[in-house]
């Protein structure tokens, strides 16, 4: 059996928001000449690498121009860009075993993509400022009315005569 593909594989859970980029780590221990990422349930080929080259033939159209290998493509690590909610699912990195002529899982990633919370309105600052101004205006008018009411009637008329 190839050293690059072991019977021990790990499962990782990743949560992301729509529009983010997600790194799918395969973590192949040794260089292998053929590996792929597959969305398990749908059996969609996400990314396929063979003999030193990325193979776009057979890649599911939903992943074209959205999946890129990291620096060392022979290790199976890729980036899935601009994730969407329909990218939610289980992804398997599989390496090809020459002796058995079969694919073996190396790493499994459960990806959950959610929409970010909806933005509610803008800033409440202008609303609060308007309310504070209205309260102050009402208090000033109320204070003035109370002041005028407490003045004796004669003083009010006298004040008016002086103003004219």
Query: What's the pLDDT tens digit per position in 34-50?
Result: 889 999 888 899 998 88
67 or 71, higher pLDDT: 67
Assigned fold of 10-114: Immunoglobulin-like (2.60.40)
Q: What token pair was written down for 47?
A: 């990314």
Q: Is 63 helix (H, G, I), strand (E, B) or coil?
A: helix
Q: What token pair was written down for 64?
A: 């074209």
Q: What token pair was written down for 34?
A: 């053929």
Q: What is the pLDDT of residue 28?
A: 76
Which of 118, 41, 49 lies closest to 87, judged by CA? 41
Q: What token pair was written down for 3?
A: 């050293």
Which of 69, 42, 43 lies closest to 55, judged by CA? 69
Percentage of the chain surpassing pLDDT 70?
Answer: 64
- Please enumerate in sequence order all residues whose Cβ is within 8 A of that of 36, keeping only pairs 6 or more positions apart, or say none: 45, 46, 47, 48, 49, 93, 94, 103
Q: What is the pLDDT of residue 55?
A: 85
């Amino acid at each position: 059996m190839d050293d690059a593909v072991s019977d021990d594989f790990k499962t990782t859970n990743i949560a992301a928001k729509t529009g983010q980029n997600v790194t799918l780590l395969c973590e192949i221990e040794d260089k292998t000449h053929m590996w792929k990422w597959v969305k398990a349930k749908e059996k969609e080929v996400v990314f396929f690498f063979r003999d030193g080259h990325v193979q776009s033939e057979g890649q599911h159209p939903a992943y074209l121009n959205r999946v890129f290998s990291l620096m060392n493509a022979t290790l199976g690590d890729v980036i899935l860009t601009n994730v969407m909610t329909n990218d939610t699912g289980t992804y398997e990195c599989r390496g090809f075993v020459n002796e058995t002529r079969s694919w073996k899982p190396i790493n499994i990633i459960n990806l959950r993509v959610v929409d970010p919370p909806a933005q509610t309105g803008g800033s409440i600052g202008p609303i609060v400022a308007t309310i504070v101004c209205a309260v102050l205006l009402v208090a000033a008018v109320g204070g003035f009315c109370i002041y005028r009411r407490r003045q004796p009637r004669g003083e009010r008329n006298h004040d008016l005569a002086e103003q004219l």
